[in-house]
Amino acid sequence: MRDTAPDHYNPPLTRWGHLWRAVICLAISGAAWSQHIQPQWHHQRPLFWIDLAGGVVAFVLVAFRRRWPVQVGVATQLLGLVSVSSGGPAALALISLATRRRVPEIAVVGVLGVITGQLYSHWHPLADDGPPWLNLTFVIAITIAVCMWGMYIGSRRELLWTLRERATQLESEQELRVDQARSAERERIAREMHDVLAHRISLVTMHAGALAYRTDLPPEQIRETAQIIQAKAHEALADLRQVLGVLRSADGVGDRPQPTYGDLDVLIAEATAGGTVVDLAQELPDGLQPPDQAGRTIYRVVQEALTNARKHAVGAHVHIRVSGDPDSGVTVVVRNAQRVGVLGMPTTPGAGLGLVGLRERAELGGGTLTTVDDGQSFSLQCWLPWTQGVSS
């Protein structure tokens, strides 16, 4: 158990706590003084008043035992030289000191109590006092019992305080884990939304921008482009429903399978139909494809690269190369020139969150993702372990 300051685990006393302790002190003092009251009153009346005054002072001092535990313990024990009625407060002060479980302090005050008790018995003996050794043994036994009881109380208080602190710490850690899980879920939702919708919306934006820019198109071509926009918008809505279905499902699996490496041809054909020139070079072992987890990440990387090319480099030629094997992993390199085309052709704004999400996805799968922009071309390179990937 760690070393904890007694002020931390000693609970504050209530009025009831002060009251029952005062009652017990009065009972102890009354029992100890009862044998001395009559002889003092009849034969040593000044000692009677001194004893009573010492008891009153002890009761006042013991109220400050937690603020000055050692000082109050020493003072109440010293009062035992002239006052038997101070026995109750002296016992309470010793117990309070023992709850701190600091052996040197307890030993000093305890030994002082034994000495003052023996001196008082020697100076003011009673007629029915037993042998001195018997009185000494009794006082030592009582002192040890009081100290042990106080140390037990202190140990129990510290144990309860430690358990409460641990419960509070566990509750705080649980809240932190919940916040982290909530943040991770938000990031997952944002990543899925971006991966699924950015590709479709970029196609819609490109065709809509062409309609706004080209005012000389014949009605048939305008109608065809509008139909393409409508189809892509419907596909975007369908993808959005799919993502929401995955997020709301208990097992995180939607109605439709997630795209993998085998769906790259469909993705590239769709980009080509939208006017993007794409070259795909596949340098993989014959008849071998990356596992589904790595394949999903590869698909998302290529999808994001094509989306960025449509946004920021309209008309640029996009080169894609996928290479690797089970031993060295799989590498995806996508490169395109900077923006080319007719001056004034609109571009789609971006916040750069897609690349951030791709980098996180790659790192979760044990891979890396880097980008290079030299002013003339933009390249994206992603490496993934062959047998490890991230779930989409």
> How far is the C-alpha of 83 from the C-alpha of 233, rounded, in Å?
97
Q: What is the mean pLDDT of the chain?
A: 80
> How far is the C-alpha of 313 from the C-alpha of 278, rounded, in Å?
13
Contact, 370 vs 358, CB < 8 A?
Answer: no
Got the DSSP string for 52-94? HHHHHHHHHHHTTTTTSHHHHHHHHHHHTTT-STTHHHHHHHH
Kindly list the distances between the CA atom of residue 1 and the CA atoms of 155, 169, 171, 302, 327, in Å, as whole numbers in the listed order. Answer: 10, 16, 20, 56, 51
Q: In the sheet that 377-384 helps form, which strands lie side by side, from edge to edge?
A: 277-283, 317-325, 329-337, 377-384, 368-373
Neighbours of 36 (CB within 10 A): 19
Q: Within 13 A of 24's CA, how many CA atoms are on the CB side? A: 12
- Class of residue 44 by CB neighbours under 10 A (exposed 0-12, middle 13-18, buried 19+): middle
Instruction: Return the domain boundaries, the chain.
Output: 6-173, 188-384
Task: Specify which residues 319 forms β-bridges with.
Answer: 279, 335
Region 374-384 average pLDDT: 89
| The pLDDT of residue 30 | 86
| The pLDDT of residue 226 | 80
| The pLDDT of residue 4 | 63
- Least confident span in 65-79, 143-157, 174-188, 374-388: 174-188
| The pLDDT of residue 389 | 43
- 234-250 pLDDT, tens digit per residue, is 777 776 776 666 566 55
Region 349-367 average pLDDT: 74
Neighbours of 198 (CB within 10 A): 22
pLDDT above 90 (res 331): yes
Most confident of 206-220, 259-273, 341-355: 259-273
Task: Specify which residues 372 forms β-bridges with.
Answer: 379
Q: Give the model's confidence band at 332: pLDDT under 50 very low, under 70 low, under 90 confident, else very high.
A: very high
> What are all long-range contacts of 22-27, with beta carbons under 8 Å and residues at least 24 apart?
22/59, 24/88, 24/92, 25/59, 25/62, 25/88, 25/89, 25/91, 25/92, 26/88, 27/88
Fold of 188-384: Heat Shock Protein 90 (3.30.565)
Dihedral sign of CA atoms 99, 72, 87, 133 in order: positive
pLDDT above 80 (res 369): yes
> How far is the C-alpha of 213 from the C-alpha of 122, rounded, in Å?
116
Region 328-347 average pLDDT: 72
Got the DSSP string for 243-281? HHHHHHSSSS--SSPPP-GGGHHHHHHHHHHTT-EEEEE
Six-digit token pair at 354? 């897609």
| The pLDDT of residue 391 | 42
| The pLDDT of residue 256 | 55
Residue at 17: amino acid letter: G
Region 77-105 average pLDDT: 89
- 287-297 pLDDT, tens digit per residue, is 788 888 888 88
| The pLDDT of residue 248 | 60
Most confident of 2-6, 12-16, 49-53, 309-313: 49-53
Region 316-327 average pLDDT: 90
pLDDT above 60 (res 42): yes
Q: Which of 265, 245, 253, 243 is nearest to 198 (CA)?
A: 243
Residues 6+ apart with CB under 8 A from 142: none
Q: Give the model's confidence band at 53: pLDDT under 50 very low, under 70 low, under 90 confident, else very high.
A: very high
Region 13-30 average pLDDT: 87
> How far is the C-alpha of 380 from the C-alpha of 375, rounded, in Å?
14
- 132-174 pLDDT, tens digit per residue, is 777 788 888 988 999 999 889 888 888 888 888 888 888 888 8
| The pLDDT of residue 335 | 92
- 342-357 pLDDT, tens digit per residue, is 444 445 555 556 677 7
Task: Specify which residues 369 forms β-bridges with.
Answer: 382
pLDDT above 60 (res 268): yes
Residue at 159: amino acid letter: L
